[in-house]
Amino acid sequence: MITVGATLPEVTFNVLVNGELTNPRSHHLFADKKVVLFAVPGAFTPTCSAAHLPGYVALADKLKAKGVDEIMCVAVNDAFVMDAWKKSANAEEITMLADGNAYFTKAIGLDMNTGDFGGFRSVRYSMLVINGVVRKLNIEDPGRFVVSDAQTMLDSL
């Protein structure tokens, strides 16, 4: 499992930009930036849609005022689902990273197998990444939503 001080692995994500599918790599997304990255088990799922994503939308300006260059959300979903979720949540300030095959999620050791519910998904977490290196890491216990929320991240900056 990834730890504070570790460099993020080099993987390719899928991101829909103006209706076009793009494939940015980790080094491009995180190089020379201060990024808040948070992960959810799935787009449109209850806690993710009711609390996790909306919290980051609501506090985006405050996070950026603390020097954060970009806020990113990652889920083991495809780019089209992530883009639809972004639009439905008015999350224009959030970059939605699709990790469709869970390559990133598995590479950092924060995957979980939900079986028939949805297969491999991400554990819920948040992290502060500076120039590709993890500086803060908040991992939720299963079924919990207490440490990966936007307010906790803001308070830690």
Catalytic site positions:
48
CA distance 47 to 99: 19
Bridge partner list, 12? 25
According to DSSP, residue 69 is labeled -
What span, in angstroms and rounded, lies between the C-alpha atoms of 68 and 95? Answer: 13
Q: What Cα–Cα distance (Å) separates residue 103 from each residue in 17, 31, 39, 151?
A: 21, 19, 14, 28
3-state secondary structure of 124: coil
CB 129 within 8 A of CB 30: yes
